[in-house]
Chains A and B, each alone.
Chain A
Amino acid sequence: MNEIERNKQRDVLAPKLRKVVDGPHVLSLAEELKPYECDGLAAYRVMPLLVVLPGSVAEVQAVLRVCHAEGIAVVARGAGTGLSGGALPNEDGILLSLARLNRIISIEPENCCARVQPGVRNLAISEAAKPHGLYYAPDPSSQIACSIGGNVAENAGGVHCLKYGLTVNNLLGVEMITIEGERVTLGGGGLDGPGYDLLALITGSEGMLGVVVEVMVKLLPIPQRAQVALAAFDEVEIAGQAVADIIAAGILPAGLEMMDNPSLRAAEDFVHAGYPTDAAAILLCEVDGGSEEVSEDIAKVRQRLLDSGAREVRTASDETERARFWAGRKAAFPAVGRISPDYYCMDGTIPRKHLPRVLREIARYSEESGLRVANVFHAGDGNLHPLILYDANNSGELELAEEVGGRILELCVEVGGTITGEHGVGLEKINQMCAQFSPEELQMFHDVKAVFDAKGLLNPGKAIPTLNRCAEFGAMHVKAGDLRFPHLERF
């Protein structure tokens, strides 16, 4: 559609949607649409045709029925904190905000579960469960703002995944609306549902298979106690080995985080966590559980870290110090934001043993491009977040940062890892999907999408690249003489 057609479409569609959703909740003016033009990946911006904010499940159903009948694209959005452009609007479609569906329907302590609407914030679930001694485990760093609906769409992680799993491991069920407007329950009140595990399929599907309108999450007992050790290392390799040694000792840490020198220095300057700024890397290792259990485990962790060659190991003496140790890690992204006008956050996962090689290569890319890179690493589960520092005001730097990012992701695939551990593909990493999957596998994804959404209206153009797109992109990435997509024409 061109601009004129788009304006016409908007004028035709808005009244139809205002028939099914309260008038004020269908936004059509440019200044109303503007706040929705991007999600947490602000480098990409698109104005949607309309923004619709339904206030009930019935309204979501009605909106989807209208869009299905009219062939209008629908992009669902939670809190808009996503980092891969998954909620980037479609210029010819509506943006469906689930923000008004923000009710905690029930907390059932006896069943250790909570039933919530998709717009409920991640942290709000744990707050509501707290009086019962329970909490919701997945804790993405945006948990204060991000919504549970978005967590389901992205299969969000956090710093406690190694022990407690991702979103997919902490859901019991969802209520979903199909693009045709039908309501369907996936999963159930027990630990499994009948038939295929459609709940797992929906989790992490980036809003491309249906719209989730209710989520049933698992609640866990709040651990009696948590304790953290901070270890400093003179070499990144030794820190990497220390992680392997802790795992080999049979300890399953609740959190195991690594920061390299650039990121720990930025964090220290920002929040004064007491990090040793001359260390090549630090590790934060947290154990949680019963009081006695934690005492036993933290002593083991401390000994292991020293045996592995840590220069120094500190254990937090009280809750205040524990919070301070974590403050630096939790503020790592904004801290890096202070030392650079812009940064680009990557999200690859690698088998941990390849960490030294991957960090060496990243350092080389950094040197070649002239862009600084700070590394923050969920060391327990192999999820690496290199932050590429750049200045968007310098012409060409964003493109350069994206290129470095792309190379890092392809390196992750090369060592047996993946292009995204927890942020999702969205629009951002769609080209790298071509490096990770074969044409047959990508076609399978498209076919699965068609089962749920034959017209391709739900979040079109995201997450799964077309084979033509891969042919175009892949031509630049011939690996070992193996030309991918040889059957496609190239221009």
Chain B
Amino acid sequence: MAEGDIEQALADQVRDAAERGQPLKLIGLNSKSFYGHAVEGEPLQLSGHSGITRYEPTELVLSARGGTPVPEIEAALAENGQMLTFEPPGFDHTASLGGAIASGLGGPRRPWGGAPRDQLLGMTLLDGRGRILHFGGEVMKNVAGYDLSRLMAGALGTLGALLEVSIKVLPAPTAERSLVLELPRERALQKMRELARQPAPLSAACHLDDRLHIRLSGNSASVAAWENQIGGDVGDGEDFWQGLRNHRLRFFQSERPLWRLSLPPATSRLDCEQQVLTDWAGSQRWVYSSSSAMEIRDEVAKVGGHAILFRHGDGKIPIFHPLDPVRERLHCGLKKTFDPQAILNPGHQYASI
């Protein structure tokens, strides 16, 4: 057995738990332990299952075990002038690749670089029966069978543990520049949408405290041309973007309930957005609100979005946006298919799965 490969031990533990009907709490590097409803269960420690298994820069594909630390992957990529485009957050800790995919969370580059699901090519999955299954592959294009690997992105480990993951990686930009424009919220939102409609090399657009932060990434010619066109002042650079990615900006240093709204990007100010950081050129908004959970969710749903109580919930309000009956039924059916004993992170996302 290769070093860092504890696949069989993990499969044994899941099989044994399935026989006993014993719930398991999936733990990677525990960087997002605050996220989702708390799980009561025996720990299934995935961090020992670690290591990059295949990486050939010219194929633009990297495969690694689920417990591999994201910084280890980013370092290997950087050596070859490549990067993970979805900028997975680790918050105050270090994220694992499996956790980054399972949470589905993406950083500031998300609208242009895609989400974890967009870069996911295939995986080895440990299902709730303790079976090791392979879906997708290590090639860019693959439409054989249902896309069960993408289904795992954002499922928070409720359908399986991600043993090994293959992802598409891309060349890192050779030039990058951060700009700041002094603009109030509504005008900043308009500006972001204007820029998003132009072939500008945007890689981030965020508004906070009357400042619009823009990041340009590309080759030197294109970054210089657009820097000129957009104007503004020189921004705070990577510090700001890393602070945004990992919620280390002052905005996030509050114990109040923090809401994440996912919206059509041009949506103008909602009543519930009392204190707001607008990211993803308008598509993702971090909000502190005095509106009730129900008011927030109603307002957001009306414009076609959804709302997650990301941090500092009271333990009673459902963290994830409630599902309509048809989707609820499909979720329960899928849960039963992958995890018939309901032992994998039960209740972590929704009470019924």
Instruction: Tell whether A pairs with B.
Output: yes
Q: What chain A residues lie within 8 Å of B351 (beta carbons)?
A: none
Contact across chains for B304 and A444 when beta carbons are under 8 A apart: no
**Selected A-B contacts with CB under 8 Å, 28 pairs:** A110-B197, A111-B193, A155-B147, A183-B326, A188-B304, A191-B283, A194-B323, A195-B320, A198-B327, A201-B146, A201-B147, A201-B148, A205-B146, A245-B58, A247-B171, A248-B58, A252-B170, A290-B222, A291-B225, A293-B225, A351-B139, A353-B56, A383-B141, A421-B140, A424-B143, A425-B143, A436-B144, A444-B127
Given the known A-B contacts A244-B58, A441-B135, are A200 and B117 also in contact in the complex, defined by CB atoms under 8 Å?
yes
Contact across chains for A110 and B193 when beta carbons are under 8 A apart: yes
Q: Which listed residue, B140, B155, B326, touches A161 by the CB 8 Å rule?
A: B140
Tell me the nearest residue of chain B to A209, going by C-beta.
B146
Contact across chains for A191 and B110 when beta carbons are under 8 A apart: yes
Given the known A-B contacts A188-B262, A201-B150, A464-B145, are A293 and B222 also in contact in the complex, defined by CB atoms under 8 Å?
yes
Q: How many residues of B contact A (CB 8 A)?
A: 87
Query: Which of A40-48, A97-105, A165-173 faces chain B?
Result: A165-173
The answer for the CA separation of A491 and B150 in the assembled complex, in Å, is 38
B118 interface residue per 8 A CB criterion = yes
Contact across chains for B142 and A421 when beta carbons are under 8 A apart: yes
A139 interface residue per 8 A CB criterion = no
Q: Which listed residue, A168, A295, A420, touches B147 by the CB 8 Å rule?
A: A168
A204 interface residue per 8 A CB criterion = yes
Interface 1/0 per residue, B84-122 and A, CB below 8 Å = 000000000000000000001000001100110110000
Tell me the nearest residue of chain B to A417, going by C-beta.
B139
Q: What chain A residues lie within 8 Å of B19 (beta carbons)?
A: none
List B123-150 residues whose CB lies under 8 Å from chain A. Answer: 127, 131, 133-135, 137-148, 150
B199 interface residue per 8 A CB criterion = yes
Tell me the nearest residue of chain A to B112, going by C-beta.
A220
B313 interface residue per 8 A CB criterion = no
The answer for the CA separation of A381 and B58 in the assembled complex, in Å, is 11
B24 interface residue per 8 A CB criterion = no
A243 to chain B, nearest CB (A): 8
The answer for the CA separation of A196 and B157 in the assembled complex, in Å, is 11
B324 interface residue per 8 A CB criterion = yes
List B306-353 residues whose CB lies under 8 Å from chain A. Answer: 306, 308, 320-324, 326-327, 330-331, 333-334, 336-338, 349-350
Q: Which listed residue, B139, B155, B222, B304, touches A382 by the CB 8 Å rule?
A: B139
Q: Which listed residue, B143, B151, B200, B280, touches A191 by the CB 8 Å rule?
A: B280
B82 to chain A, nearest CB (A): 8
List B212-253 residues whose CB lies under 8 Å from chain A. Answer: 218-222, 224-226
Q: Which 3 A-B pairs have the closest CB atoms?
A: A189-B304, A451-B333, A293-B222
Tell me the nearest residue of chain B to A449, going by C-beta.
B146
Contact across chains for B197 and A166 when beta carbons are under 8 A apart: no
List A336-372 residues whose CB lies under 8 Å from chain B. Answer: 349-353
Q: What chain A residues lie within 8 Å of B110 (beta carbons)?
A: 191
Contact across chains for A290 and B221 when beta carbons are under 8 A apart: yes
List B262-277 residues whose CB lies under 8 Å from chain A. Answer: 262-267
Contact across chains for B57 and A248 when beta carbons are under 8 A apart: yes
The answer for the CA separation of A188 and B307 in the assembled complex, in Å, is 12
Q: What chain B residues lie within 8 Å of A448 (beta carbons)?
A: 146, 148, 334, 337
The answer for the CA separation of A192 and B150 in the assembled complex, in Å, is 13
B254 interface residue per 8 A CB criterion = no
Given the known A-B contacts A194-B320, A447-B337, are A155 and B143 also in contact in the complex, defined by CB atoms under 8 Å?
yes
Q: What chain A residues lie within 8 Å of B180 (beta carbons)?
A: none
A178 interface residue per 8 A CB criterion = yes
Interface 1/0 per residue, A413-445 and B, CB below 8 Å = 000111111111100010001001110110011
Contact across chains for A289 and B141 when beta carbons are under 8 A apart: no
Contact across chains for B140 and A200 when beta carbons are under 8 A apart: no
Tell me the nearest residue of chain A to B328, going by C-beta.
A195
- State the total of A-B contacts with C-beta under 8 angstroms: 277
Contact across chains for B141 and A192 when beta carbons are under 8 A apart: no
The answer for the CA separation of A433 and B144 in the assembled complex, in Å, is 7
The answer for the CA separation of A157 and B151 in the assembled complex, in Å, is 20
List A179-226 residues whose CB lies under 8 Å from chain B. Answer: 182-186, 188-198, 200-201, 203-205, 209, 221-224
A154 interface residue per 8 A CB criterion = yes
Given contacts A293-B222, A420-B142, A444-B338, 6 further A-B contacts (CB under 8 A): A133-B197, A162-B60, A166-B141, A188-B306, A201-B146, A349-B142
Contact across chains for B114 and A165 when beta carbons are under 8 A apart: yes
Q: What chain B residues lie within 8 Å of A291 (beta carbons)?
A: 225
A250 interface residue per 8 A CB criterion = yes
List A123-144 residues whose CB lies under 8 Å from chain B. Answer: 132-134
A326 interface residue per 8 A CB criterion = no
Q: What chain A residues lie within 8 Å of B140 (beta carbons)?
A: 161-162, 349, 380-383, 421
The answer for the CA separation of A252 and B170 in the assembled complex, in Å, is 8
Q: What chain A residues lie within 8 Å of B114 (beta carbons)?
A: 165, 169
Contact across chains for B220 and A425 when beta carbons are under 8 A apart: no
B257 to chain A, nearest CB (A): 18
Q: Which listed residue, B145, B172, B262, touches A190 by the CB 8 Å rule?
A: B262
Q: Which listed residue, B197, B266, B349, touches A195 by the CB 8 Å rule?
A: B349
Q: What chain B residues lie within 8 Å of A185 (beta carbons)?
A: 324
A14 interface residue per 8 A CB criterion = no
Contact across chains for A134 and B143 when beta carbons are under 8 A apart: no
Q: What chain A residues lie within 8 Å of B48 (beta carbons)?
A: none
Interface 1/0 per residue, B41-80 and A, CB below 8 Å = 0000000000000001111110000000000000000000
List B142-171 residues whose CB lies under 8 Å from chain A. Answer: 142-148, 150-151, 153-155, 159, 170-171
Q: What chain B residues lie within 8 Å of A289 (beta carbons)?
A: 199, 201, 218, 222
The answer for the CA separation of A291 and B155 in the assembled complex, in Å, is 41
Tell me the nearest residue of chain A to B153, going by C-beta.
A197
B325 to chain A, nearest CB (A): 8
Tell me the nearest residue of chain B to A201, going by C-beta.
B151
Q: What chain A residues lie within 8 Å of B159 (beta carbons)?
A: 196
A109 interface residue per 8 A CB criterion = yes
A108 interface residue per 8 A CB criterion = yes
The answer for the CA separation of A252 and B115 in the assembled complex, in Å, is 19
A358 to chain B, nearest CB (A): 12
B175 to chain A, nearest CB (A): 10
Interface 1/0 per residue, A267-300 and B, CB below 8 Å = 0000000000000000000000111110111000
Contact across chains for A441 and B134 when beta carbons are under 8 A apart: yes
A332 interface residue per 8 A CB criterion = no
The answer for the CA separation of A178 and B324 in the assembled complex, in Å, is 14
Contact across chains for A290 and B333 when beta carbons are under 8 A apart: no
The answer for the CA separation of A463 and B114 in the assembled complex, in Å, is 28
A149 to chain B, nearest CB (A): 16
Contact across chains for B117 and A197 when beta carbons are under 8 A apart: yes
A452 interface residue per 8 A CB criterion = yes
Q: What chain A residues lie within 8 Å of B153 (beta carbons)?
A: 197, 200
Q: What chain B residues lie within 8 Å of A58 (beta carbons)?
A: none
